[in-house]
Structures are given as C-alpha cells and as structure tokens.
Chain A
C-alpha cells in the first residue's frame, strides 16, 4: 500500500513564473491538505480539498490555488512566484473516519 506521494521531489523556478505541484493521497483517503514549510520553521496550512472543493483555507494569498481530481489526487498551483515562496511544500491526506493526516515526502521549491 503506497503512502502519500508527491512530485516532483524538487524544482527550481524564476521569480514571476508559475509552478504546479502534485500529490497522490494514501489509498482510501479522500481529503488532501497542503502545507508550506519555510526553512527552519514549522509547516503552515495553505488549504484543504475534499470532494473536489476547497474546504478550508489558511492565510495565503490568491496566488496559491489548488485542485482536486475525482481520483482524490491534488495539485497546488502558485502564480507570480516570489523569492519568499521558496520552501518545502508538504501534502497530507486523511479520511473522514479518523481524520489522521499522513504526510508525503514534500517538494522542495527554490525560487531564484
């Protein structure tokens, strides 16, 4: 049983560009949450998707958007990248039974 997977592992983008990060939830999970972890900090909640809808959102600008597909996988999109968007982006999946969140290995984004 595969756990939460994320792609790519790392990538480098230039200021102003757009990026898409992908997440496949653990088998049996229908909810995906995204977190941003800046260097030396704890993860911060970006948003959560359930039934293909954004169910909850943290304090992040509209440049951060997402999508959930019918197979429960999810994408995180960031437009007009800033240097401050450089971080580890973590995806976590959960189900409606236990609400326990399982984390993926993350995508390291570097904006130059």
Chain B
C-alpha cells in the first residue's frame, strides 16, 4: 500500500522569504502522480502543483516549484517570495496512474504560517 509522510506539522516563514515543505512517499509502482494541495481556513482544497512520475523535469507554477527525487521517493515544495495569502495547510498527495485506482492518498499536512 502506498503511504505519504509529511514530517513537519508546522512551519513559519517571513513574508517575501522562501520556504520548503518536505514530503516522502512509499510505493512499489513506477508510474504515478504527486500533488501538493493547499487548504486555507475556508476549507476548499486547492491544487497547487502536480508532478507526473515519468517526467524528470520538476514542475513549476509561478512562485511554487517542486524538487522531485524519484529514487529517494521525495517530493518537496518550494514557495518563493512568500505572501500572506500563502498561509494554509499544505498536503502532499499521491495517486496511482492506473485507471481503476485513482483515489488520492494524502499526508497529514503541514501548517504554514506567514510572518509579516
């Protein structure tokens, strides 16, 4: 069974600085998807960034980028130029690429605080 581990329950970063959230996962599959979701106090789960395991290039979305290390099964999220609106719970998540198994497996989350 696949698992996702986030070892940082909480993190803080100064506004405009850069922060990296860590995530490791375990799977025996070779093809899969990894995600970072943001959940603000409004509770809406918002997709931040997605990485396909077969792609070696790290995904980037504006100020958000990932460091995907497939052999190490590591998938960290870097937020550059942190803004107050980035404050939220961040979940690392895994999904198999198989048609019949597309449930999402989430980590326990990291609460990110932005200090003004």
Contact = CB atoms under 8 A, between A and B. Distances in A.
Kindly state the interface size class of chain B when it binds its partner.
20 to 34
Given A41-B109, A42-B108, A105-B44, A94 B103 contact: no
A104 B45 CA distance: 7
A56 interface: yes
Residue from A44, A56, A94, A101 with most neighbouring chain B CB atoms (10 Å): A101
B100 A55 contact: yes
Contacts, number: 53
Interface string A1-44: 00000000000000000000000000000000101000011111
Interface residues of A, number: 25
A88 interface: yes
> Is chain A's binding surface mostly helix, strand, loop or mixed?
strand
Contacts of A44: 106
A105 B43 contact: yes
Interface string B88-116: 00010101000011111111110000000
Contacts of B30: none
Contacts of B106: 42-44
Interface of A: 33, 35, 40-45, 48, 55-56, 58, 88, 90, 92, 94, 99-106, 108
